[in-house]
Chains A and B, each alone.
Chain A
Amino acid sequence: MEIYLYIALFAPLVGSLFSALFGASPKTKVTGIVASGLLFVSFVSSSILLSYVLGGHTVHVEMMTWMATGDLYIPFGFVVDQVSVVMMMVVTIVSTVVHVYSIGYMDHDKGFNRFFSYLSAFVFSMMVLVMSDNFLGLFIGWEGVGLCSWLLIGFWYHKESATWAANEAFIMNRIADLAMLVGIFMLYWNLGSLQYDVVFANITTLPVVVITWIGIFLFIGAMGKSAQFPLHTWLADAMEGPTPVSALIHAATMVTAGVYLVVRANPIYSEIPNMGLFIASLGAFVALFAASMALVNRDMKRIIAYSTLSQLGYMFVAAGLGAYWVALFHLMAHAFFKALLFLGAGNVMHAMHDELDPFKMGGLRKVMKGTFIMMTLASVALAGIYPFAGFFSKDLILEVAFVDHHYIIYSVLLFTAMLTAFYSFRLVALIFHGEERYKLFGIHPHEAYKFMLIAMAPLLVLAIIAGAFKGSYYQLVTSLLPSGEYHVHSIATYWIMTIGTQLLVLAAIAFAYKKYSSWSSVPDGTSALEQSFGYKLLANQYYIPWFYEEVFSKTYRKLSHCLWKEIDLKIVDAMVDGIAGVVYKTGEKTHKIQNGNLSDMLRWMVIGLVILMLFAVGFSVLAMFAQAQVEFVRIYIGELVLGIGLVLVAVSVLLVTYHAASIRKTGKGR
């Protein structure tokens, strides 16, 4: 089985390196096909591993030592167990689809080969992240996906906004990564190992305070990668990247790494339920917060990005409340339908010549039938209508909150579910229904390549039927994760809740359709709604990006500049130059002494001699008073007195001569 593990892991890397070989040469379809093929190989290996794991086995290999010093020992170790195999399946399925799709999507791009190199490198990093058997290995993947995300967001590097967003994403993730590193340091110094099995076996021996701190630091790391408040702004800006990237990285896989971390570290979080409650509360807050921003946005990709953010909030609610398997299940289901949604949006973008404002579209269902169906079904799944995937995973989270008596979280999530349905279908209605507003802009939309639609089909199927796997999935993961059936005890309550939720969601969909399906004009920012404070607040993302820019970025920039110009140059360096300057100036001032006159020089020599003798005498006297037992001072006391006398004579002689010299100079007499 190990060979399959290595194939699953390294096939994407091979694909990436292969594409990189063609990095500088003109576009060639080969790179795309080879990279996709290798990903399919990886997918097949993952499937084989899945069937193996389903049989109750796990695979654990240690490839080689990475770092070993002192007591620290970190290998490149990989583990395929019930949790990681689920992640592997998700990653390989979605990335295979996205790769094939990208062959069509990036068809006209000059950086075609480069793109596949980056994309496969990303998949490799993600596989390292999920398959590693220790925290530092996870960190390799963690940073690796960050790097690839930076490369891919800034893929169109000539665009200022893209490179800016790439840097923002990288730096914001780095802030969280620092916390994660600190968490890793704490684990190491407290437990002496970073291997999952050792850490999880011994975590209960630590005091609760320490576990809490570890939990907090690891979670901050997760917050960065999963774009939780307040580190969320990068995700929306990351939509500057090519759309397949958004589908793969910023919807299905990388952003869910934070959830994966919490799920993977469940023995730690199980020990600290208060921290879990905080995670759940933050998750619920983010779910609502992000959904509210999606309500009014006029950028198709950003709406879906906020939706992703909101769904990540749901996952954290489940993980925080201890329902780790539920979180992982929603992660999986969400990956399928959200990637589908993004790829659909990519088709629309292609058709609309990179136009992103849904108000400028409308009526596209006539020309883009396939995309229309797929995006609608994906939105239905996202809204959580029975029997689509979202129903099984998302409603389960609501139930978890309800069963655990967290009614506030429950109501927030229920309300967010309605908002989700509303903004999803607002988008669908604006794009595919109503008048063909795009004609105003002279665009002639066309459907995407057929193979792109076919490539999307597996995701569609999974988005529809993923819920059916719930039973076997539950069997699989609960052998590793804490099991817990979340059933509402009273059957009546259960049915009221389920049907009630469905009705509310349907009502929200109907409302969205009613309001937007016959939209005819392009809003220009003058309507009363757009002028209202609430709209502006939401459209400007609660002014948080503005706040970050004004408060953090500008301060940092100004402070840096000030540190350089004011402190480094004017204080630190000036001080050094000042000392040197004093030495130089003393030289300038005193060089007159060296007037070349032998007679004067001799006088200076005598003065120096006298000063030295004064020193000698002074020190002797000091020594004499300080320590009377110093032998030679007592013996030669006579000579000492003589010396003092000599010095006195010399000084008087000096004074006389100088006096005489000055008389001579003024009187010119000789």
Chain B
Amino acid sequence: MEITLTHYLVLSTILFVIGLIGIMRRKNLLLLFFATEILLNAVNIALAAISHYRGDYTGQMFAFFIIAIAASEVAVGLGLLIVWYKRTGRIDLDQMTSMRG
């Protein structure tokens, strides 16, 4: 069986949904980061695949961009997370409600 664009896209979708569920269900900040990474990579797969099948490198370029941004995001995010943990000793989401409107 030849692997078509659709296969990639289905994979990407499945990953995306997994990430989405993760975002909504996890209460641990660290796990949230994992879910976000899954989301981003789902998109990366889609971008790279479409780019390959259309012969246009813009998509792959974007994928690199996203990887770079994800990396920096994790770097900053983890830093914040550690600070938060040092202050409160927990990384539970339900506890972070200082932005209540």
Contacts and interface: CB of A to CB of B under 8 A. Distances in A.
A560 interface: no
Nearest to A657: B24
Given A606-B20, A606-B24, A597 B13 contact: no
A596 B99 contact: yes
A599 B27 contact: yes
B9 A596 contact: no
Contact of B96 (A598, A639, A642): A598
Contacts of A598: 32, 93, 96
Interface string A590-612: 01011111110011001000000
Contacts of A593: 101
B21 interface: yes
Contacts of B24: 599, 602-603, 606, 653-654, 657
B6 A638 contact: yes
B25 A657 contact: yes
A645 B17 CA distance: 12
A602 B20 CA distance: 9
Interface in B1-30: 6, 9-10, 13, 16-17, 20-21, 23-27
Nearest to B24: A657
Contact of B17 (A596, A597, A599, A649): A649
Interface string A566-603: 00000000000000000000000001011111110011
A109 B87 CA distance: 90
Contacts of A591: 101
Given A602-B24, A606-B23, A650-B17, A594 B101 contact: yes
Contacts of A544: none
Chain B interface residue bracket vs A: 20 to 34
B47 to A, nearest CB: 14
A602 B100 contact: no
Contacts of A654: 24
Contacts of B88: none
A578 to B, nearest CB: 24
Contact of A599 (B16, B20, B94, B98): B94
Contacts of B32: 598
A596 B100 contact: yes
A597 B6 CA distance: 37
Interface in B27-85: 27, 32
A594 B96 contact: no
Contacts of B17: 646, 649-650, 653
Chain A interface residue bracket vs B: 20 to 34
B98 A596 contact: yes
A562 interface: no
A594 B98 CA distance: 11
A594 B25 contact: no
A663 interface: no
A503 interface: no
A193 B16 CA distance: 82
Given A594-B100, A598-B93, A642 B21 contact: no
A597 B93 contact: yes
A660 interface: yes
A646 B6 CA distance: 13
Contact of A596 (B13, B16, B101): B101
Contact of A595 (B10, B26, B100): B100
Contacts of A597: 93-94, 96-97
Given A642-B13, A646-B13, A653 B21 contact: yes
Given A638-B6, A642-B6, A642-B13, A596 B20 contact: no
Nearest to B14: A649
Interface in A103-131: none
Contacts of A642: 6, 9-10, 13
A187 B25 CA distance: 84
A608 to B, nearest CB: 13
B21 A596 contact: no
Interface string A621-637: 00000000000000000
A642 B10 CA distance: 8
A594 B99 CA distance: 8
Nearest to B96: A598
Contacts of B98: 596
A596 B25 contact: no
Nearest to B18: A653
A309 B35 CA distance: 99
Nearest to B94: A597
- Among A596, A599, A645, A653, residue most surrounded by chain B Cβ atoms (within 10 Å): A599
Contacts of A650: 17, 20
A253 B7 CA distance: 104
A598 B81 CA distance: 14
A174 B16 CA distance: 79
- Among B24, B27, B93, B101, residue most surrounded by chain A Cβ atoms (within 10 Å): B24
Contacts of A653: 17, 20-21, 24
Contacts of B27: 599, 670
A599 B93 contact: yes
Going nearest first, the 10 A-B pairs with the smallest beta carbon separation are: A594-B101, A596-B100, A596-B97, A596-B99, A599-B93, A657-B24, A598-B93, A591-B101, A602-B23, A603-B24
18 contacts: A591-B101, A594-B100, A595-B101, A596-B96, A597-B93, A599-B93, A606-B20, A606-B23, A606-B24, A642-B6, A642-B13, A645-B13, A646-B16, A649-B13, A650-B17, A653-B17, A653-B20, A670-B27
Interface of B: 6, 9-10, 13, 16-17, 20-21, 23-27, 32, 93-94, 96-101
Given A594-B101, A642-B6, 15 more contacts: A591-B101, A595-B97, A595-B101, A598-B96, A599-B26, A599-B27, A599-B93, A603-B24, A606-B24, A642-B9, A645-B13, A653-B17, A657-B21, A657-B24, A660-B25
